[in-house]
A and B are shown apart, each in its own frame.
Chain A
């Protein structure tokens, strides 16, 4: 089955800096890669996603890049703010009869210091 590795496990940055979180996946048939943000005690919230026919997607301060050949994808957050502090999870899914099943990475605890 699919295996998703996420790094780093913790990331500490100063407000205004950029943050990058990287994930690798094992199943070359995976074609959908979402990123979730989870605040303490809350549910995971989808913040951005990318499909395998696209190399990069941006939404304001957040961007995701995908390298299908190397089987890795990354989350980029620019101009970080204290409210960006949370746990971030990457995930991967293959289409067709997988019915949208997601395999998650282990998570990255992002701390943004004011």
Chain B
């Protein structure tokens, strides 16, 4: 049971380049989330997916798009990277609230630098 996995671990982009961050979970969870973590600001929700086929904006969605490819996979795309998107990105997943509560499990993170 790998839990939540993310690729890549590190990435350097030039301003204006695009890329997709991949996330997968093998816990059969319905809900998945993308957060960014910046120094001194905790984690902020970018987008989430309550179930396969649905996505919705979080607190800081500008400059990002997401795709819930299937129940396992939830990707985050930067169409035109900007230096302000330099951050550590975490994917998380959560099972049904009725089974074990609202616990969210995080992936190992992707450290992205935009120059």
Contacts and interface: CB of A to CB of B under 8 A. Distances in A.
Given A95-B97, A101-B33, A44 B103 contact: no
A81 B61 CA distance: 39
Interface residues of A, number: 24
| Interface of chain A: mostly helix, strand, loop or mixed | loop
A106 interface: yes
A6 B40 CA distance: 11
A104 B94 CA distance: 16
Given A34-B103, A99-B31, A101-B48, A106 B42 contact: yes
Interface in B90-106: 90, 94, 97, 101-106
Nearest to A42: B108
Interface residues of B, number: 25
Contacts of A51: 101
Contact of A102 (B50, B97, B104, B105): B104
Interface in B35-77: 40-45, 48, 50, 56, 58-59
B103 A46 contact: yes
Contacts of A105: 42
A7 to B, nearest CB: 13
Interface of B: 31, 33, 40-45, 48, 50, 56, 58-59, 90, 94, 97, 101-109
20 contacts: A1-B59, A6-B42, A9-B40, A32-B101, A32-B102, A34-B103, A34-B104, A43-B106, A43-B109, A44-B90, A46-B104, A49-B102, A51-B101, A89-B43, A93-B102, A99-B48, A100-B33, A101-B58, A102-B45, A104-B43
Interface of A: 1, 6, 9, 32, 34, 42-46, 49, 51, 89, 93, 95, 99-107
